[in-house]
Amino acid sequence: MPAYDRTYLERAKISFGRMLDYAVYDLKYDLSTFWEMFLSSPISKQFERGNVSVLAGRSGVELALMVCGIEKDYPKPFFSEQRSREYWLGWALAHYQWMTGLSFSQITEYISIDEIRGMYYPYHEMDIRQFCDKLDEMRDYRKRQTERMSRRQEPSV
C-alpha cells in the first residue's frame, strides 16, 4: 500500500535522490554514516509518513542539511548533468518506500545501503518495478534466513 498520495511521488524521489547525492559529494559523508544519521533523524519518519513539507516543500540539499544539523556555512551544491549512483539510490528507494509503505529502517534491515547502491548496475537502466521486485526478493530471502538461524539457536525445551 502506498505510503502517501502519488501526487507527491516524483518530487519526493527527486528530493531524496538529491539529498543522498549532496550528502556524499558536497558534504563529504560516507554513505553508510549519512544513512544512519538519516534513519535516526526526524526527517526519515516525516518522509515515510508523507509529510508534504518534507516530501515537496524542501529541496534535497535542505533535507541533507537538516539531517546533519547544519544551519550555516555549508558547501554550495554542485549540480552535475550526470546523475550519480547515490542520486539513483535515493530516487529508487523513495519509490520503493512509497510503494511498500515500509520504513527506511525496515528496508535496510536485511540489505545494507551500500549493497543497494551496488544494484545501480544493471537496475538503473531497467524499469523501477524490476528494482522493487529484486529488493522484495532479497529482503524476503534474508528475512527467512535470519529466522531460520534464530530458530536453530533457540534452546530446545
CB 25 within 8 A of CB 66: no
pLDDT at position 9 over 70: yes
Cα–Cα distance for residue pair 150/152, rounded to 1 Å: 5
Half-sphere exposure of 155 (CA within 13 A, CB side): 1
pTM score > 0.75 for this model? yes
pLDDT at position 113 over 70: yes
The string of pLDDT tens digits covering residues 54-76 is: 998 999 999 999 999 998 888 88
pLDDT bin (cut points 50, 70, 90) of residue 4 is confident
pLDDT at position 81 over 70: no
Q: What is the chain's percent helix, strand, coil content, to nearest 5?
A: 70, 0, 30
Q: Where are the domains of the chain?
A: 6-150
